[in-house]
Amino acid sequence: EIVLTQSPGTLSLSPGERATLSCRASQSVSNSNYLAWYQQKPGQAPRLLIFAASKRATGVPDRFSGSGSGTDFSLTISGLEPEDFAVYYCQQSGTSPWTFGRGTKVESK
Amino acid sequence: QVQLQESGPGLVKPSETLSLTCTVSGGSISDYYWTWIRQSPGKGLEWIGYFSSRGNINTKYNPSLESRVTISLDTSQNQISLNLTSVTAADTAHYYCARDGVAAGGAFYYGMDVWGRGTLVTVSS
């Protein structure tokens, strides 16, 4: 199965700062269309932010952007808002079983 | 607005079968991958499998659970069911159903864009 390694484990930033989250796959994700990013807040289900590596889901602010291909992907939050402090997961659907990374926690400094 | 709601017992005894239902409201159950995911502190987010109502009807399961899991669809009730047999404490988790599939620009992409709120299932005697 494809293992997704997310780094860093925790990112401590202040509101307004830029956050860059990394997701590295153990083997190439067969098509970048199969890489998604999710945000999860305590007590809530994950929320889809990005699909197909770079497409924003409906209602997602444009401060969220995704990029990458092959084995290296990233999620950037251009200026952190208070509601953006959460855990972020990458997920691939290119090779069964679908797998998730272990997450990056973005916390307020 | 499509909404998903999981339901089922919150406590299951070891060696018994975990059975959950996800009810879909506000939209069609056709043309998507209806997926179950679970989340536990130790294992993070784990994809259990899906039932596809797109094109050829089929299921796909995580090989780590395949011998114990069944996902089925009841289109008359707009429900997706999960059965997991021979449970152990390792199956204790929050269980989520989700709709996998985003239609954008005339194309279909994978992405779990609608989730239920999840239900905690504890395996204990």
pLDDT, tens only, B63-119: 999 999 999 999 899 999 999 999 999 999 999 999 999 988 888 899 999 999 999
The helix/strand/coil state of B114 is strand
Q: What was the pLDDT predicted at B95?
A: 98
Q: What was the pLDDT predicted at B105?
A: 87
CB B48 within 8 A of CB B97: no
pLDDT (mean) for A3-22 = 97
Which B-chain residues 50-89 have CB contacts (< 8 A) with chain A?
A: 60-64
Q: How many CB pairs under 8 A join A and B?
A: 69
Contact B45 A46 (CB under 8 A): yes
- Cα–Cα distances (Å) from A42 to A3, A22, A85, A88, A105, in that order, read 24, 21, 10, 12, 11
* Cross-chain CB nearest to B44 (options A45, A48, A100): A100
- Cα–Cα distances (Å) from A106 to A14, A92, B33, in that order, read 10, 21, 30
The pLDDT confidence band at residue B53, using thresholds 50, 70 and 90, is: confident
User: Residues of A with CB below 8 A from B115's CB?
Assistant: 45-47
CB B91 within 8 A of CB B14: no
User: Residues of B with CB below 8 A from A57's CB?
Assistant: 102, 111, 113
Q: Is A34 near chain B, with CB under 8 Å?
A: yes
